[in-house]
């Protein structure tokens, strides 16, 4: 499924690190960022998570919640969050329903073998619950800064 700017944000309710829940209904009236990443504690995903953690004070000042989403188990996510001192919620979507609803479940290819997996992507949802920005095929370097700039432009 492709997600377009201006579309209503698909509903979600997932367990998240720190005993929290990441739920659309809890974020009503507030802008938020969902970023989708393939796997906790891998080099690219770690760089991306640490960049969002570093930018967290700036996002928080703007009233924006950051939520990382992957298919990892809660145990793996808690370990990842603890290891890198990630204080924002990392949500577990083991059946990939939310990942798919947000357009991040894609066919990938590795050494000629095709498989389904998470495309690194980010969605900024505005206070009205609409997709304000969608970044497919994210390159990690500088991405958190790009997202912050888009938040400031809301």
Which residues are tagged catalytic?
45
Three-state DSSP class for 4? coil
Long-range contacts formed by 144-147: CB under 8 A, 24+ apart: 144/48, 144/51, 144/52, 144/54, 144/55, 145/51, 145/55, 147/33, 147/35, 147/52, 147/55, 147/122
Residues 6 or more apart from 106 whose CB is under 8 A from it?
A: 116, 117, 118, 119
Question: What span, in angstroms and rounded, lies between the C-alpha atoms of 73 and 40?
Answer: 10
């Amino acid at each position: 499924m492709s997600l377009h700017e201006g579309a209503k944000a698909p509903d979600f309710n997932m367990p998240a690190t720190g005993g929290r829940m990441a739920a659309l209904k809890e974020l009503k009236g507030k802008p938020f960022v969902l970023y989708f990443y393939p796997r906790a504690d891998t080099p690219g995903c770690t760089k991306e998570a640490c960049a969002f953690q570093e930018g967290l004070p700036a996002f928080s000042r703007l009233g924006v919640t950051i939520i990382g989403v992957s298919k990892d188990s809660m145990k793996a996510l808690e370990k990842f969050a603890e290891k890198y001192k990630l204080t924002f919620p990392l949500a577990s979507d083991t059946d990939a329903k939310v990942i798919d609803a947000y357009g991040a479940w894609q066919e990938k290819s590795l050494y000629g073998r095709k498989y389904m997996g998470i495309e690194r992507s980010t969605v900024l949802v505005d206070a009205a619950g609409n997709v304000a920005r969608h970044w497919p095929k994210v390159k990690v370097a500088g991405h958190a800064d790009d997202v912050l700039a888009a938040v400031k432009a809301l």
